[in-house]
Amino acid sequence: MNTIATEAATIPQTSRVRRWRAASLAPLIVLVLLCIIIAGINPNFLTFGNLVRISLSAMIPLVLGIGATFIILMGSIDLSVEGVLTLGAVLTSMLVLNGANNNDLGIMAVFIVLIVGAGVGFINGVIHVRLKVPSFMTTLGTWFIGVGAANALLGGMAVRINDPWIRGLAVERFLGFPRGVWIALACLAVAMVIQNYTRLGRYIYALGGGEELASLSGISVARVRIATFTLAGVFYAVGGILASAQLGLGNAQIGNGRLFTTITAVVVGGTSLSGGQGSVLQTLVGVLIVVVLSNGMVLMGVPPSVQIGVQGLMIIAAVALSIDRKLMRIVK
């Protein structure tokens, strides 16, 4: 009887997994169709120069989306994206060769910024776990703290970057693409290794599938949550470094609008907001959908205000399609 009951319980779960695997291909199909439609309307979409522009537009959302994906897979939410990115960009501009002070730490500045990003993520995790503050409230607070700290450091000014290595991330090219694009792809490769081949990656999925069950399986929920928020903070800091390199300066407004794009890309890519389903590779597809759609609308002469509206409709549709309503007893 126990065997029969177990098999009966397994069938619905297997069916859900199959449905999710089929649904996970939908964003890729949408991306391909989107490219075909835009290319049919404007052949300039397929030029190498436009491909480079798309890659430049996608590199920062990709790195930010990777960090956010790990948090969402765990069943939480992280709103500190803009705060960590802004603080990372400002610190980068102030620590490397710049036009505001005598600092010239070079590559050492990058390690400092990554440590700061990890520290902010660690604080997010500790407050969320130890003080039992909801993740969205904790990270909302650190978002404002990060932007406030950046404002305090700059005093309302912008710092121009003169360091050739940092500027080279956006200017110098390898195989025709800026170095920053290759760094973003390297981050994706590292994230895929963490997701698929490490204990932390397996535990993140386990928490997203059910925290109580994960705890009963011997997983330290607190440690996994803190480690995941710390990891996300590192990716956000990388996004800050790339943002400062792309603009050639650091200011307190450099992160504006990044949170919306990040969450949109993750959800459009097919990662479930309820946790446990999705991947960083799907986030890459989601980023490309968002960036290609924006690029296509520019090529077609669509006004910026309409572009924002289209992105809003896209994220609502993506969330509506990604939620398994059979598993939801109430809409929160």
Which two three-digit tokens encode residue 108? Answer: 């050492």
**How large is the average pLDDT for residues 68-91?**
93
Give the residue with greater pLDDT, 9 vs 27. Answer: 27
> Which range among 189-198, 223-232, 296-305 shows the weakest confidence by mean pLDDT?
296-305
Nearest to 95 by CA among 77, 71, 115, 122: 115
Contact 149, 155 (CB under 8 A): no
Convert the pLDDT of each residue in 212-244 to its tens digit.
Answer: 787 878 888 899 999 999 999 999 999 999 999
How many residues are there in the chain?
Answer: 332
> Which range among 9-18, 38-47, 195-204, 294-303 shows the weakest confidence by mean pLDDT?
9-18
CA 295 – CA 301 distance, rounded (Å): 10
In this prediction, residue 157 carries a pLDDT of 83
Most confident residue range from 219-223, 230-234, 274-278, 291-295: 230-234
C-alpha R_g of the chain: 21
Nearest to 236 by CA among 154, 142, 123, 121: 121
Most confident residue range from 26-30, 79-83, 299-303: 79-83
In this prediction, residue 170 carries a pLDDT of 87
In this prediction, residue 30 carries a pLDDT of 83
> Which range among 2-11, 106-115, 224-233, 295-304 shows the weakest confidence by mean pLDDT?
2-11
Provide the angle, in degrees to the nearest 10, between the axes of the packed helices 81-95 and 258-268: 130
Would you tell me how many other CB atoms lie within 10 Å of the CB of residue 112? 15
- Give the H or E element holding residue 46: none
Q: How far is CA 43 from the centre of its chain?
A: 30
Q: What angle do CA 164, 167, 171 make, to 5 degrees?
A: 110
CB proximity list for 260: less than 8 A, separation 6 or greater = 311
In this prediction, residue 2 carries a pLDDT of 41
Kindly tell me the sign of the dihedral angle through the C-alpha atoms of 128, 90, 308, 171: negative
Give the residue with greater pLDDT, 263 vs 114. Answer: 114
Contact 69, 266 (CB under 8 A): yes
In this prediction, residue 330 carries a pLDDT of 40
In this prediction, residue 109 carries a pLDDT of 93
In this prediction, residue 277 carries a pLDDT of 84
What one-letter code names the amino acid at 131? L
In this prediction, residue 21 carries a pLDDT of 57
Contact 272, 290 (CB under 8 A): no
Contact 234, 121 (CB under 8 A): yes
Which residue has tokens 């920053």?
180
Work out the mean pLDDT of the chain and round it to a whole number: 85
In this prediction, residue 8 carries a pLDDT of 40
pLDDT band at 140 (very low <50, low <70, confident <90, very high): very high
Nearest to 109 by CA among 90, 118, 96: 96
CA 221 – CA 159 distance, rounded (Å): 41
Contact 266, 258 (CB under 8 A): no
Contact 103, 94 (CB under 8 A): yes
**How large is the average pLDDT for residues 53-66?**
94
In this prediction, residue 171 carries a pLDDT of 85
Most confident residue range from 7-16, 36-45, 75-84: 75-84
pLDDT band at 189 (very low <50, low <70, confident <90, very high): very high
Nearest to 81 by CA among 94, 68, 99: 68
* SS3 call for 254: coil
Contact 69, 237 (CB under 8 A): no
CA 113 – CA 115 distance, rounded (Å): 5
> Which range among 20-29, 162-171, 278-287 shows the weakest confidence by mean pLDDT?
20-29
DSSP string for residues in 151-179: HHHHTT--EEB--HHHHHHHH-EETTEEH
